[in-house]
Chain A
Amino acid sequence: MSTLHTVNKPGQAMALCVRAVVSGDSVLLIEDAVYELLLPASRLNALPDGCSVYVMDIDARARGVVVSAPFEVINYDRFVSLCVDNEKVLSWF
């Protein structure tokens, strides 16, 4: 059973999220969480193997954050699909 974790800010929310993610889960960065990509030692590097990290397109563009592989830029339609594809959705904020 996989879980989609949404995170809306860097810092503690992100740290707590990373502790809870297991292999096969997905992480979606929305709102200020896209700033996590600017951190040189991002916690995202500590995620277990087999996890996908998605970044909300409009939130990254609004903040001037450039997204590159392995992170994938998505829109809200894809956010909805991820909610359907994962049995659980957890929000960290």
Chain B
Amino acid sequence: MKFALAVYGAPANSQAPQSALHFARALVAGGHEIVRLFFYQDGVNTATAIAQPPQDESNLSEEWQQFVQAHNLDAVVCIAAALRRGIVDQAESDRYELPGHNLREGYELSGLGQLLDGALMADRLITFGA
């Protein structure tokens, strides 16, 4: 079965990215297909490359990226939510003349339409709220 996942919470103040990762791993283990990951609202913080949680805690952003890359997933980060929170890729950094960029490899900045597209492509859309 085809699944799309939406993540609305950030690693630092919500369990959403952790629950969503547990769920995504169970999906893959069960032979299901993940057709779209969509990080929205505070969930966009999952895709930052420069957050450093304490070393005795899990690094969810790192774990998510490894999962996305290992399974070659279509991982979309809401561009409007990301820009207002300082999550940018090289192109947006250049456009706004910012001092750097921090979107992890494997993720793509795009619009909210990709969430709708994911919902249409998938048999089930599962939302992990903040």
> B-contacting residues of A (Cβ < 8 Å)?
6, 8, 13, 30-32, 58-59, 75-77, 79-81, 83-84, 89, 91-93
Contact = CB atoms under 8 A, between A and B. Distances in A.
Interface string B9-37: 00000011001001101110110100000
A48 to B, nearest CB: 23
A31 B23 contact: no
Contact of B32 (A8, A80, A89, A92): A80
B29 A93 contact: no
A91 B32 contact: no
Nearest to B130: A93
Interface of B: 1, 3, 8, 15-16, 19, 22-23, 25-27, 29-30, 32, 124-130
Contacts of B25: 76
B19 A31 contact: yes
B126 A83 contact: yes
A93 B8 CA distance: 10
A80 B26 contact: yes
Contacts of A83: 1, 3, 124, 126
A8 B8 CA distance: 12
A30 B127 CA distance: 12
20 contacts: A6-B126, A8-B15, A8-B19, A8-B129, A13-B129, A31-B19, A58-B22, A75-B26, A76-B23, A77-B26, A77-B29, A77-B30, A79-B26, A83-B126, A84-B1, A84-B32, A84-B124, A91-B126, A93-B127, A93-B129
